[in-house]
Structure 1
Amino acid sequence: MDQPAMTAAEVTRFLDEVFPQMHAQGRIYFVDQIVWRQAQVRCVAGEQQLRPGGTVSGPTLMTLADFASYAVILGSIGPRALAVTTNLNINFLRKPEAGVLIAKCRILKLGKRLIVTDCEIAGEGSEDLVAHATATYSVPPR
């Protein structure tokens, strides 16, 4: 098995440097683990992330899926700030409650120009998915 190009701590430092606005309202997204072609990230969803009815909002889940995809890609190809999302599809499966949400993301295709990811999101300690997403990123040539 290959080694990741960046560790979770390195991805976090890189994102803090090139994308600090992500935490403008406080840090709720965290990179927990990076291994070759896989990442686990989390979101600590509080009152600000809830919509009426007490469910975590769709935009919060989409951000988590996109964040997980970016983290696994950076972990696999190294610090490439200009890798950008070209497509994100998400299915909302269950009502997500406030608290810690875990996203497990893996790379399905690691091409020279396009990278496709698969992301499963569940509440911490639960096997039941609240959302499933796939994303495609465009990677600029070096």
Structure 2
Amino acid sequence: MTSHHPIMSKDELTAFLDREFPQIHEGGQTFFVDEIGPLCARMRMDYHDRHLRPGGTISGPSMMTLADLALYAAILAHIGPVALAVTTSLNFNFLRKPEPRALIADCRLLKLGRRLAVGEVSIFSEGSSDVVCHATGTYSIPDRR
């Protein structure tokens, strides 16, 4: 069983993501690890035109990226830098239109086993307590022998 306490710091996790996934910063960095804690992580996606859809609201795919990234960050913070941990399922409920500002993703891991991790992510517009998107997801964790 994996520890319920993070083994990677926010800075270590950020450095890993920057090194292994530089493409998430193409066009300028908009995704940031804000906090890592026991079985949780908080990420931020800055408001930027490239995340907008017609009509001027933040797009579903941008919110999906933020949720998936928050889940990945929470898992890696607890198991270490395992680049090949992969998403096996993601489910989204878009609840309301996000405000035109940064989005905050709070991720909570519900199960962290040797082979699978399950978590949920609530996304809010910065400065608001109203959930704009709720996601659940499962990751497959590769054998680390």
TM-score band w.r.t. shorter chain: over 0.9
Residue 97 of structure 1: CA displacement? 2.5
Q: Distance in 1 between matches of 2:39 and 2:105?
A: 14
Residues 1:80 and 2:88 are matched in the alignment = no
TM-score, normalised relative to structure 1: 0.96
Structure 1 residue runs without a partner (length 5+): none
| CA RMSD of superposed structures (Å) | 1.2
> Kindly, what percent of the aligned residue pairs are identical?
57
Q: Give the 3-state SS of the residue equivalent to 1:99 in structure 2.
A: coil
Task: Report the counterpart of residue 37 of structure 2 in structure 1.
Answer: 35
Give the number of aligned pairs: 142
- For 1:1-142, list aligned pairs within 5 A: 2-142=4-144
**Partner AA of 1:106 in structure 2:** R
Q: Structure 2: which 5+ runs fail to align? A: none
Dislocated runs of 4+, deviation >3 Å: none
Equivalent position SS for 2:62? helix
Quote the offset at 1:125 in angstroms: 1.2
Contact 1:54 1:97 in 2 (8 A): no
d(CA) in 2 for partners of 1:124, 1:80: 30
More strand by share: 1
